[in-house]
Amino acid sequence: QRYGSDFSIWQSNGHSTDGFEETEFEILGTDEGSTNAVAFFGNGVDKTLRSVQQADREGRTSFVYLYTAHPDKHMHVLGTDNVHVKTVIQGIDGHIERLWKNLKGIDATIVVTADHGHITVKPEDMVVLPDEIVECLEYANVGVYGKGRHAYLHCKSGFHWTLRQRWRECDRLNSDFVLLTVEEAVHVGLFGPLQPRPVTRRRMGDYVSIALTSKTLVTPEQNNFLQLSGAHGSLLPAEMEIPFVCCMPNQ
């Protein structure tokens, strides 16, 4: 990531971190790919169990954060309704149930959630960021593998007025996306009731483009390169849905 991940920041602050394998992109959408994804997540659950159980034996309070990219990777490549996506989700659900069965006898709480929703994006819904817009930007976090439905745009110095003017004049952008400064988006509460932290604000850039329809902004090299793919969800109600499960010990 451009500014480092949470994991690299935690590691630099002296916290213990570990990793587990992920399925290669080349075998996503195959039986081998989905089987491997579930097995790899199971390895992460095993490491979580060992860490929490050791802390319990030693009478320590602990916090373990387990993250898997497998649902995200599969949905990016295959869309949200593919049978292999369902296999991966069901397999992960089974391992989470196993985690809870092994921890519910001790004072442990499990919280399961996701950092964003997903939506299937068909080739005809991919809108290429025009060259005249790209010329105004230092960096654009867009695309089916980025934030194409709520794109963060870092504008070149001195190009802010030009960017907004060109955006208004471009029918294929203006009809499906609204362009806001990050400050405007914060003011209307798109990021919640609190002000973004400095480390988060730095990543947002200068503008955010919000999709009003099923369209998704992509870079020229991503245009129609997949027949079916998934993008991170944005602000339409269905794509904002994420799981939230909390398992707590009996009081």
What's the rounded Cα separation, in Å, for the pair 56 and 63? 11
What would the pLDDT profile of 120-162 be if each residue is shown by its tens digit? 888 888 898 899 999 999 988 887 666 888 899 999 999 999 9
For strands 137-141 and 150-155, give the pairing. antiparallel
- CA triple 217-221-222, angle to 5 deg: 45
What is the CATH number assigned to the segment(s) 123-236?
3.30.1360.110
DSSP label of 20: -
Q: Where are the domains of the chain?
A: 6-108, 123-236
Count of CB atoms situated within 10 Å of the CB of 53: 15
What would the pLDDT profile of 47-87 be if each residue is shown by its tens digit? 999 999 999 999 999 999 999 989 998 998 888 899 999 99
pLDDT of res. 141:
83
Nearest alpha-carbon partner for 7 in 68, 20, 15:
15
What's the rounded Cα separation, in Å, for the pair 116 and 105? 31
**7: exposed, middle or buried (Cβ count in 10 Å: 0-12, 13-18, 19+):** middle
DSSP label of 135: T
Judged by DSSP in three states, 6 sits in helix
The DSSP code sequence of 171-225 is: HHHHTTEEEEEHHHHHHTTTT-SSPPPHHHHHHH-SEEEEESSS-EEE-GGGTT-
Strands (E), 56-125: 110-113, 118-121
What's the rounded Cα separation, in Å, for the pair 110 and 51? 14
Share of the chain above pLDDT 90, in %: 49
**234: exposed, middle or buried (Cβ count in 10 Å: 0-12, 13-18, 19+):** buried
The first and second tokens of residue 158, run together, are 């001195």
pLDDT of res. 191:
86
For strands 150-155 and 244-247, give the pairing. unpaired
C-beta of residue 3 within 8 angstroms of C-beta of residue 202: yes
Read off the pTM: 0.78
- Binned at pLDDT 50, 70 and 90, residue 7 comes out as low
- Binned at pLDDT 50, 70 and 90, residue 227 comes out as low
For strands 126-128 and 216-218, give the pairing. parallel
